[in-house]
Amino acid sequence: MPRSRRTLLKSAGLAVSSGTLASIAGCLGGLSSDGGSGPAERSTADPSTTDQPTTELSAKTPSSDFVQWLPDPTKTPLRDGYGFLYFDVAGISERRESMHENAYSRLEKEMLRPIPSDYVDVADVDTSITLDFVAELSLGSFDPETVGEKLASDGESPATTSRGTATTTRNSTTTRTTRSDRERYRGFDLYDTNRVYAVSEDALLLMSPMIEGDSVDNAKAIIDAATTETSHYADGNEYVSSMLGVVDNPDALWCYPEAMDGSTSRGFRKDAITGELKSWRFGSETTHLTFADTYPDEETAKSGELSNYIESQSRRFSSYDGLNVEIDGLMAWADGTTPTNEFDHLSAGGPSDGVHTTYN
């Protein structure tokens, strides 16, 4: 594990591996934008039943525990090599006045994209997480009954699914959900509509209908990851474990790993990386960047490819001080700082350059 001073997997991922990860059954109870933490009770509910009580948290869960929502693809239906994005929505919003208007505008669109604003108030969302093209997850404070009523009255078209359990009310123009579509699962109301929704008082999960496999099973795998003592992404994918191991309580994070079995390849860089991570922690004056790559073997990690990449992308990295590359095992990474008002998503140019900061 790179750098023992790093806290993310020291507090979360290592506990996963040792089987001592505290359960956050059904919800996170709201993520702390200041990184505050407290002990959480473990769930003792029988996972074989579908209507499980939630476990109360004695204090807010630190934002770094978003890793608990990332299922281990070797133990679940999710395919290995899925990328993920994480945003501390509440914390980032507090830094709005410290950032350049262009940079914040783009960041806001990215962090709010996973939130289904037709069903919840964006102001009630503390955190957003995207799992590749698989799932979009909002964490905060929600009313499951209200969400269910909105689902029942909108234009979603569940039809009768392959499970044969959906009940619909039809009229001449639309097929609408009804309350009988709801399944209770580990403290969530789960709706198998055209898309699969799962909602608790603290989490709203939306599954894509375009993914491989059964969307309901995939939704349950994500819920299981957060509500039971089960393995997580960092346990089944060494690239993910290494990249998360060099991050300290981020406010925004992008992680794009390949599959450990070689079944997926990112191919967005010419060099031989097997994963890329970029994350930021925003302060009122200074922003901290961690940029990391994983490689197929230690020899390639030591070859200087990351140093060469940073040098070749000087317009993207030039505003950051202290970008000295460090190497450990399959990992190479660099940390740097920049004035918060110069943060620009590693886009070429700067935040005042609208060509590079316009959201696409």
Phi, psi (deg, nearest 5) at residue 334: -145, 140
Q: Check if the beta carbon of residue 67 is closer than 8 Å to that of residue 9.
A: yes
Q: What's CA 22's distance to the chain center, in Å?
A: 19
Nearest residue to 211 via CA among 298, 324, 131, 100: 131
H or E stretch including 31? strand 31-32
CA distance 29 to 8: 19
Helix (H, G, I), strand (E, B) or coil at 55: coil
Q: Check if the beta carbon of residue 344 is closer than 8 Å to that of residue 351.
A: yes
Looking at residue 269, its pLDDT comes to 81
Helix (H, G, I), strand (E, B) or coil at 39: coil
pLDDT at 40 over 50: no
0.85 exceeded by the pTM?
Answer: no
* Identity of the residue numbered 112: L
Percentage with pLDDT > 90 across the chain = 60
Kindly report, residue by residue over 45-85, the tens digit of the pLDDT.
333 333 333 322 223 334 458 999 999 999 999 989 999 99
Q: Which two tokens stand for residue 43?
A: 């769930």
Kindly report, residue by residue over 300-349, the tens digit of the pLDDT.
999 999 999 999 999 999 999 999 999 999 999 999 999 999 999 999 88
